[in-house]
Amino acid sequence: MKKPLPFVIDAVLVVLFCAIGRSSHDEAILTGLARTAWPFEIGLIVGWAIAFALCYSQADREFDTAVRRFDGWALWPTGVIIWLTTLVIGMLLRVVSGQGTAFSFILVAATALALFLLGPRGARKALRGN
């Protein structure tokens, strides 16, 4: 269960980000949460795939080696790739699906997702001292 734990935490934190956003705009949280969250969850999945693909390419394209080496908790490059991909693909999918992407929302989303996706990785790294 150690390998998928950071992914599960990321997925939960992305849903939390969306729930907080809906709540701050006095929108029904549960009824519209899936509509708000799906673009960012797709971005998160793509980000994880890109981060693993990078690890795979650095492991001489040996799948077993890449699985052993891949660290979902790594701040760099894994966390940064996941954060940026979640943000960019999430926003692109919001545009395609007719949801809002005001500049102020992009800034808030970038900041909140950085806090949620990079914060735990940075805290873990600081606490472990490596």
Helix (H) or strand (E) holding 87: helix 80-96
CA–CA distance, 25 with 32 (Å, rounded to integer): 12
* pLDDT tens track for 65-120: 999 999 999 999 999 999 999 999 999 999 999 998 999 999 999 999 999 999 99
What is the signed CA dihedral for 52, 8, 112, 79, rounded to 10 degrees?
Answer: -20
Query: Which amino acid is located at 7 in the chain?
Result: F
Q: What is the number of other CB atoms lying within 10 angstroms of the CB of residue 19? A: 17
pLDDT for 101 equals 93
Domain residues of the chain, as ranges? 40-123
